[in-house]
Amino acid sequence: MTTKRISEEKHKILTKTLPSILDEMEESIRLATEAARRAEEAAKASKEAAGAATKASGEARSAAETAAQEATRQAREALTEAAKKAHEAAEEAGRVAKEAAAEATSKAQEIVAEVKDLALELAMVIRNANIHSSDAFVKEIDKFNDKWSK
């Protein structure tokens, strides 16, 4: 403070009555006390807000971890199920292919047996035709043709 200001304040103090000075001091103390109380309340509210934010942050982290674990578990289950179904489908396809191959083999064996019988009968017709006359050969061929053309 400058000396001029100090002398002005001394001058004010000397011109005021003691009760008025005490009232001003009391008012200043009351205002300071009120300001301190408000500052204390603000600090308390700030501390509570910080605690709530910390708690909420922890809960959010925990919820995120739980959600990630659940998503991982569900993905793992879905992958396992898909692999199982793919394996079952492959087994079914293999079974159907084996059945088709067995059926085709059976049909082929039947055809081979029929061709063998046909070849033997044709050989007999040719043999008989050689032994008999040509008219008999034609008749044998016609009979053979009628039998196998059906």
Mean pLDDT by 10-residue block, N- to C-terminus, for the chain (150 residues)? Answer: 63 72 89 93 91 90 91 92 90 89 88 81 72 69 75
- The whole-number pLDDT of residue 4 equals 65
* Angle, helix 134-148 to helix 18-131, in steps of 10 degrees: 160
Residues of the domain holding 131: 3-148
Its pTM stands at 0.45
Say how far apart CA 13 and CA 11 lie, in whole Å: 5
- The whole-number pLDDT of residue 71 equals 92
Total domains, the chain: 1
- The whole-number pLDDT of residue 5 equals 64
